[in-house]
């Protein structure tokens, strides 16, 4: 997984197996999947359980190999690959061609992820293209939003005053829109060093598989949202809920997991079973009187749990 691209179909099959095993352990009587796999792979702060999405994790592992080639171009491996596959450019500009090895094809898959997170740090500014390279420290869009127009300047070094080694404020304000100007004037210029590539999603600029995996998940989520015209109300509610407050409660893990299932509406209660088309016994049937929720609450401190739910605004007594 760290060196070779695993097909998306195989990763989805493995995800399905993990998902089936997970629900068979939670509900041994019924293997109904009460929550989608996509929601389970979210972080705890987003209402999920941090299950690994294997395809995104595979891309993050491959991205680490690509990052090593970016940061260490003088290494033996980088020199061999450069001479063979991208002799006149950088690995960020390399494209797949016929006859390449499966290892190199896999690394090229990993290169796509660093492209979404790299940012240039300003030194001399001679190697950074103003209009094409990502050098603006701004969330996802790290390129200037200003239009090039008829301006002839192309390198960041042309925006630096050589006498003071600081930004030429008049030229910057003439060239860019106010939003770009505000950010550019705050970018530090490091003297006597060349420009270098850093990882935008880390304060120290260092790459990690963890942050790359997060970028892959967020990119997939954005692509999914663009394909959907509207999102469900349940997803909107989960985005507003303070999940960190739930997981920080001083309760046993089993109780926290129950509260999570309660707040995500994933308990197998009568209404949910009816929505799934599951046969339900008659109301007078003794087997229905003691539901799963009732069996779990029996023997627990109902008052204590209700107070915790009131703190989280999940209990009806706290609702306006």
Q: Tens place of pLDDT for every residue, the chain, 320 residues?
A: 778 888 888 988 888 888 787 777 655 555 777 788 888 888 778 788 888 888 999 999 999 999 999 999 899 999 999 999 988 888 988 888 888 899 999 999 989 999 999 999 999 899 999 999 999 998 778 899 988 888 889 999 999 998 888 999 999 999 999 999 999 999 999 888 899 999 999 888 899 999 999 898 888 877 776 665 444 444 444 446 778 888 888 888 888 888 888 778 777 777 776 777 766 665 545 444 444 454 444 444 454 555 556 655 554 444 44
Beta strands in 7-157, from DSSP E residues, in sequence order: 118-121
Nearest by Cα to 118 from 72, 70, 165: 70
C-alpha 56/C-alpha 200 separation (Å) is 19
Query: To the nearest 10°, the Cα dihedral for 110, 115, 117, 123?
Result: 130
Identify the helix (H) or strand (E) that includes residue 9: helix 8-26
- pLDDT in the model for residue 63: 93
- Which DSSP category does 240 fall into? H
Residues sharing a CB contact under 8 Å with residue 271, sequence separation 6 or more, in sequence order: none
- pLDDT in the model for residue 286: 46
Residue whose token pair is 């941090």: 50
CA distances from 315 to 148, 305, 307, 309, 318 (A): 56, 10, 8, 5, 6
Query: Token pair of 181, please?
Result: 């100007």
- pLDDT in the model for residue 249: 81
Show the DSSP H helices in 49-198 as ranges.
Answer: 54-71, 76-85, 102-115, 169-175, 178-184
**Residue 160 contacts residue 125 (beta carbons within 8 Å):** yes
Residues sharing a CB contact under 8 Å with residue 269, sequence separation 6 or more, in sequence order: 291, 292, 293
**Residue 51 contacts residue 41 (beta carbons within 8 Å):** yes
The pTM for the full model equals: 0.73
């Amino acid at each position: 997984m760290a060196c070779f691209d695993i097909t998306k179909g195989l990763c989805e099959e493995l995800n399905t197996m993990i998902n089936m095993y997970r629900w068979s352990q939670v509900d041994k009587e019924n293997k109904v999947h009460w929550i989608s796999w996509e929601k389970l792979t979210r972080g705890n702060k987003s209402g999920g359980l941090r299950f690994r999405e294997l395809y995104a994790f595979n891309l993050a592992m491959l991205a680490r190999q690509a990052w090593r080639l970016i940061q260490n171009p003088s290494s033996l491996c980088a020199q061999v690959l450069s001479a063979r596959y991208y002799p006149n450019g950088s690995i960020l500009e390399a494209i797949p061609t016929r006859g390449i090895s499966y290892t190199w094809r896999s690394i090229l898959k990993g290169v796509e992820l660093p492209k979404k997170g790299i940012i240039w740090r300003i030194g001399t500014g001679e190697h950074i293209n103003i209009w094409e390279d990502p050098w603006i420290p701004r969330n996802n869009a790290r390129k200037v939003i200003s239009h090039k127009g008829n301006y002839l300047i192309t390198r960041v070094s042309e925006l630096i005053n050589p006498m003071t080694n600081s930004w030429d404020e008049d030229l910057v304000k003439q060239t860019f829109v106010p939003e770009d100007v505000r950010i550019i004037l705050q970018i530090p210029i490091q003297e006597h060093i060349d420009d270098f590539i850093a990882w935008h999603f880390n304060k120290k600029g260092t790459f990690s598989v963890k942050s790359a995996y997060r970028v892959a998940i967020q990119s997939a989520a954005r692509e999914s949202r663009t394909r959907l015209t509207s999102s469900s109300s349940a997803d909107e509610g989960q985005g507003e809920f303070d999940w960190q407050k739930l997981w920080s409660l001083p309760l046993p893990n089993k109780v926290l997991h129950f509260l999570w299932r309660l707040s995500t509406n994933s308990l197998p209660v009568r209404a949910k079973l009816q929505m799934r088309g599951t046969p339900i016994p008659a109301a007078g049937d003794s087997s229905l009187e003691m539901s799963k929720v009732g069996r779990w609450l029996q023997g627990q401190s109902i008052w204590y749990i209700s107070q915790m739910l009131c703190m989280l605004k999940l209990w009806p007594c706290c609702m306006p």
